[in-house]
Amino acid sequence: MLRPFRYALKDQTPLYVFVSVLFLMGVVFGALMVNALTFEQQQDLSRYLGNFFMSVNEGGADFYPLTLWEVALLHLKWLGLIWILGLSVIGLPGILILDFLKGVLIGFTVGCLVGQFTWKGLLFAMVSVAPHNLLIIPVLLIGSVAAIGFSLNIIRNRVLMNRSGSAARPFLTYTALTLVLAVVMLGASSFETWVTPVMMGWVTPMMQ
């Protein structure tokens, strides 16, 4: 029963390396984008962060308004889009773009915090961005590798006219893995909804 998952996690090491490097490139690119902001944009960003930290510190209604379902839906849509793109050959570039964009979003967020608040911003990023993403990022990378592997399997079996074997078993394995990853994503969303705001509340007084 665990053999398909061992295959996804072990035998596709080159794909994992490639996807991980692509994600890290996105993180670096996102962090560098902070330096490209104009002075006015940096001022607006500073005011926005200041108002946000004030709301968090005072327990304002603007502090983390998303519910568990909203957070989970956001992450599951990302995972679901990767699954859909993996069902076709033309979706392969889209998977890589999504991984890069995820890195850009995280890199830009952390870069903004560090750029505005130096080590305090890094500390806030460690409690607000890092914890749940320690689960979310591996889930997305595993899902991406599975999607790329399934897409490459389509190329081998259909485009290259190698029709040996049934397509049903790879599809079921691919879908089953995605469902397992969705369950893990729900756990990460629960942490982001209920635990992360508490941790943010601990650090926010230092930001003002």
User: 49 is written with which tokens?
Assistant: 């962060």
Alpha carbon distance 110, 41 (integer Å): 16
Q: Whole-angstrom Cα distance, residue 88 to residue 69?
A: 29
Give me the residue label for tokens 């692509």. Answer: 22
Sign of CA dihedral 168, 173, 179, 181: negative
Report the candidate in 149, 135, 112, 127 with the shortest Cα–Cα distance to residue 181.
135
Confidence of residue 65 (pLDDT cuts 50, 70, 90): low
What's the count of helices (H) and strands (E) in the chain, helices before strands?
8, 0
DSSP conformational letter for 89: G
Neighbours of 138 (CB within 10 A): 15
**For residue 187, what are its two tokens?**
């756990």
Token representation of residue 166: 């049934």
Half-sphere CA count of 115, side-chain side, radius 13 A: 21
pLDDT at position 54, please? Answer: 78
- State the pTM of this model: 0.87
pLDDT of res. 137: 96
Domain ranges of the chain: 3-207
More confident residue, 186 or 42: 186
CB distance 157 to 167 below 8 Å: yes
Cβ-proximal residues to 181 (8 Å cutoff; 6+ apart), any chain:
79, 139, 142, 143
- pLDDT category, 1, cuts 50, 70, 90? very low
Averaged pLDDT score across all residues of the chain: 86
What is the tens place of the pLDDT at every residue in 161-201?
A: 555 556 678 899 999 999 999 999 999 999 999 998 888 88
How far CA 92 is from CA of 15, 82, 160, 162, in Å, comes to 13, 9, 17, 20
- pLDDT tens per residue, range 19-37: 999 999 999 999 999 988 8
